[in-house]
């Protein structure tokens, strides 16, 4: 029985060594991808796709991807039509993205700006490229207020029970950052 336990321990040590080697190999390949510009290549690819895409705003909620494709087919060959929907209700948000095969199709599609689609004036713009770590939405601004002893905040609508444990003056939220532009 003791020999069986020792054999099992040796087996587990070999397996642990094998796992360490696999981990080292995975870490070295990951850093190698970083050095080779793996992430920058994906950003460049995304930028290239975004340069061939347009944003279509004020789209009728009943519009389908096929209708949008038929409306914009005169501009050039279309790869993809994306109508964004609310993740909770599943209803369309009222805008779409259209990816073309050629960059020149974007300029042709821009000519359809402020035209009528299903009795609504649509807005056609080139698609923005979102850069990781850069936000242009200005979310998370000044939301906190000075408050004493857990009372009802003037603007925030916080209830007394939520902050009754706070002693003295408290500051909730964070200061609004100035825009970088």
- Pair 76, 101: CB distance under 8 Å: yes
Smallest CA-to-CA distance from 57 within 130, 114, 122, 127 is with 122
pLDDT given for residue 181 in this prediction: 47
CATH number for the domain spanning 87: value is: 3.30.70.330
Please report whether residue 21 resides in a domain: yes
Please report whether residue 173 resides in a domain: no
Question: What is the distance between the alpha carbons of residues 51 and 43, in angstroms, rounded to a whole number?
Answer: 12
pLDDT given for residue 26 in this prediction: 76
Please report whether residue 174 resides in a domain: no
Return phi, psi of residue 58, to 5°.
60, 40
**Cβ contacts of 126 within 8 Å, gap of 6 or more:** 51, 53, 54, 55, 106, 110
Say if residue 26 is in the same domain as residue 59: no
pLDDT given for residue 133 in this prediction: 65
Domain boundary among 80, 111, 126: 126
- Pair 76, 113: CB distance under 8 Å: no
Domain count for the chain: 2
pLDDT given for residue 86 in this prediction: 92
Smallest CA-to-CA distance from 126 within 73, 53, 30, 41 is with 53
Check residue 73 and report its DSSP letter. G
Structural domain harbouring 67: 53-126
Query: Going residue by residue through the chain (181 aa), what tens digit of pLDDT does each one get?
Result: 889 999 999 999 999 999 888 888 877 766 655 555 555 566 777 888 889 999 999 999 999 999 999 999 999 999 999 999 999 999 999 999 999 999 999 999 999 999 999 999 999 999 988 766 666 665 555 555 544 555 444 445 444 444 444 455 545 555 555 555 4
CA distances 23 to 16, 39, 54, 87, 151, Å, are 10, 21, 43, 37, 53
């Amino acid at each position: 029985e003791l020999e069986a336990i020792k054999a099992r321990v040796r087996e587990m040590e070999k397996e642990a060594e094998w796992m360490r080697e696999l981990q080292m190999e995975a870490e070295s390949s990951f850093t190698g991808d970083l050095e080779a510009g793996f992430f920058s290549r994906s950003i460049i690819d995304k930028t290239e796709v975004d340069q061939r895409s347009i944003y279509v705003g004020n789209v009728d909620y009943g519009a389908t991807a096929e209708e949008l494709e038929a409306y914009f087919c005169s501009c050039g060959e279309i790869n993809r039509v994306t109508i964004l929907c609310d993740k909770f209700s599943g209803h369309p948000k009222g805008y779409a993205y259209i990816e073309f095969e050629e960059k020149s199709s974007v300029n042709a599609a821009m000519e359809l700006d402020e035209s009528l689609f299903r009795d609504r004036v649509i807005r056609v713009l080139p698609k923005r490229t979102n850069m990781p770590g850069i936000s242009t939405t200005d979310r998370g601004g000044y939301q906190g207020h000075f408050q004493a002893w857990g009372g009802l905040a003037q603007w925030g609508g916080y209830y007394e029970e939520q902050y009754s444990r706070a002693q003295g003056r408290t500051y909730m939220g964070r200061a609004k950052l100035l825009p970088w532009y």
